[in-house]
Amino acid sequence: MTATAAPLDLLLLPTWLVPVEPAGVVLKEHGLGIRDGRIAFIGPREAALKQPALETRELPGMLLSPGLINAHGHAAMSLFRGLADDLPLMTWLEKHIWPAEAKWVDEAFVRDGTDLAIAEQIKGGITCFSDMYFYPKVASDCVHNSGMRAQIAIPILDFPIPGASTPDDALRQGIELFGDLKHHPRIKITFGPHAPYTVCDDNLEKIRVIAEELDAAIHMHVHETAFEVQQAVEQTGERPLARLGRLGLLGPRFQAVHMTQISEDDLALLVESNTSVIHCPESNLKLASGFCPVERLWQAGVNVAIGTDGAASNNDLDLLGETRTAAMLAKAVAGSATALDAHRALRMATLNGARAMGLESEIGSLEVGKAADIVAFDLSGLAQQPIYDPVSQLIYATGRDCVKHLWVAGKQLLDDRRLTRMDEQQLTATAIAWGQRISGHSE
């Protein structure tokens, strides 16, 4: 850096800094400088203290990492948290969730539910999330106002949904929203055909053409359960992933969510097409949907990111906890204690999520020039001692209540566990009011 450079807006001085790229590195007693919403400096503490800065913050006992990236969820479904627990996926959807959505989901529901989810995620160290739910314009307004970063997937199904009477109507709205937000610094619009069993070939074809024209991503539930795959094979003789491959949807812009069922042919298709897989272990465990073979995918070179899924099937949006579950489950599924070690688990929750969304040049690691999406975890507590490897402590011994500070594009959204732009009491009261309305009227 030249001596004539403008002063840093903020200099952070944590005990540990984990850049994620390069892989496996922990920098001790280093500083990170932010200017104009971007990372402008990373270097040893002594050199950092020589940088002119408008504000300097000492973060003793803290680990600075890239903000966590929640690569799959349904934000507004936070208002259905705990509504229909301990049921298999199709019963949960058809008998409980879809009827509740038909009855309750409107713009106000999506606004209040999305705000609740955003606040929960900020408090849990998440700086960017992927959302796939109704009234995507309302959700994108919530993201814009919150200062957070998000990928908003336009939901498309063959039947009418809240906010869109036909698939063509949903696509038209999606194209319009894509156009309106294509220069937004923190919001990316993608297309979200719900699942292979709810979207026909004709509509998938339309989505593929539009996504190609706009260079937009496609985000879709695929192979969530063995039943889904088995039913498709019985009806058509073709596995859903193979069908998506035949229709030309797979590729580096395709995000396949869940993928609990993976044959050798499926694996070859994923590798060949450079498709990303979004792993949602806790939702899959809770709905008994199956296990995504993460280590097998990773060793084959597939980009695997991680998501919480919606709070209606998880029941929290705790990506740090999700990452711990993913690391444990990967070992059990692979039958190997070395599968998905702590450093790779953190990479899955950061840079791999960014890569899946096509944002890896912007976020996902702490590198000079990237957006300053950063989280500070406090590892000074009793339960984290002693510390041999701070990344291991973060993944295996730390809960989201240790998230102390959080910045998105250099703006602080969480300061000493306090939300800076959202009213936590108001959000809680609104959620309680929704719960009373829904429980008071639902059978």
pLDDT 10s per residue in the chain (443 long)? 444 689 999 999 999 999 999 999 999 999 999 999 999 999 999 999 999 999 999 999 999 999 999 999 999 999 999 999 998 888 988 999 989 999 999 999 999 999 999 999 999 999 999 999 999 999 999 999 999 999 999 999 999 999 999 999 999 999 999 999 999 999 999 999 999 999 999 999 999 999 999 999 999 999 999 999 999 999 999 999 999 999 999 999 999 999 999 999 999 999 999 999 999 999 999 989 999 999 999 999 999 999 999 999 899 999 999 999 999 999 999 999 999 999 999 999 999 999 999 999 999 999 999 999 999 999 999 999 999 999 999 999 999 999 999 999 999 999 999 999 999 999 999 999 999 999 985 44
Is the domain 68-356 a CATH 3.30.540.10 member? Answer: no
User: Dihedrals φ, ψ of 124, to 5°?
Assistant: -100, 10
User: What pTM did the predictor assign?
Assistant: 0.97
Return the domain boundaries, the chain: 10-66+372-409, 68-356
The fold adopted by the segment(s) 10-66+372-409 is Urease, subunit C; domain 1 (2.30.40)
263: left (phi over 0), alpha (psi -120 to 50) or beta: beta
Residue 86's contacts (CB-CB under 8 Å, 6 or more residues apart) are none
> Which residues are CB-neighbours of 47 under 8 A, at least 6 positions away?
31
> Are domains 10-66+372-409 and 68-356 of this chain identical in fold?
no
